[in-house]
Amino acid sequence: MKIGFIGLGKMGSNMVLNLIDKGNKVVVFNRTLDKIKEMEKKGAIGAFSYEDLCSKLGKDKIIILMVSAGKAVDEVIDNLARYLTKGEVIVDCGNSFYENSIKRHKLLDKKGIGFLDAGTSGGLEGARKGASLTIGGDKEVFKKVEKVFRDLACDNGYAYVGKSGSGHFVKLIHNGIEYALLQSYGEGFEVLKNSEFHLDLNEIARVWNNGSIVKSRILDFTEEVFDKNESLNNIPGKIGGGETGKKAMEIAKKEKVYFGSLKYALKKRKESQRKTSFSTKFVAAVRNKFGGHDINGK
């Protein structure tokens, strides 16, 4: 299968390699030339303009986007739409706001171009070895390109969840839950660290991650973090991000749900810019481990 791919950041590059491993031919495009050439060395087909990308894909184009949410997505879609024909498909795997995805779907639908919004989770490891994907859009379009999601995802790791916007909506709430979980784990481990018992936090993370109720992917990354530096003394402790969490909070208010754990986690992230603690260092370190997020809280 031949697939187009735009956006060769940390997540995008790993997703391309995953697709290549599954036997796909992947034509890649990125704003910076060096990243295209780097991916060519790893088996991708380089394209150096939108026209070049679409020419190399031929008919029945399927193009995946993994670019920063916002205007960048609109710019890419506007450029691509010039070269796409009826029945061809764009898949946005980035963290776009779901209302924007609905607008993009309506715009492209008028031109007969399919558009799917795919919430993508699993961090860098998931991108490389198999992600978790929630997909929204027209079901017939999803069925048409389902093999792409099967190749990108881990076992049982993708689902069509509903109409346009639903894939990114689900991912947004996922991120809100993630914020709250990270904060809870961080504060729990801070209590253990400060106790009189001189506990081995890495050992506790290992035991909890084998059979306990709090077993999770977050604890997988916690083990990796503690294995290298249990004291976290080289971590500044300022937590970056927050955009998707704030959006999730807005949605919760709209739906009249008190998302108290997320509200608290967002508050602690903001406070971490001036006052750090072991728990804020924990959150920053684990975010860096699973997503490559800036360890300095930017």
Angstrom distance (rounded) from CA 75 to CA 12:
18
Q: Which residues contact 201 (CB under 8 A, 6 or more apart)?
A: 189, 192, 193, 226, 230
Angstrom distance (rounded) from CA 175 to CA 248:
8
90 CB neighbour count, 10 Å cutoff = 27
Angstrom distance (rounded) from CA 139 to CA 209:
37
Residues composing the chain: 298
Residue 241 in contact with residue 268, Cβ under 8 Å? no
Q: Cα–Cα distances in Å, from 194 out to 8, 190, 198, 244?
A: 42, 6, 8, 31
- Please give the structure tokens belonging to residue 273: 């810019």
Number of H helices, E strands in the chain: 14, 8
Angstrom distance (rounded) from CA 27 to CA 146:
18
Angstrom distance (rounded) from CA 71 to CA 200:
46
Beta bridge partners of 62: 89
- Extended beta strands in the chain, E state: 2-6, 25-29, 45-46, 62-65, 89-92, 114-121, 131-136, 153-162
Angstrom distance (rounded) from CA 193 to CA 195:
6
Residue 93 in contact with residue 72, Cβ under 8 Å? no
Known catalytic residues are: 171, 178
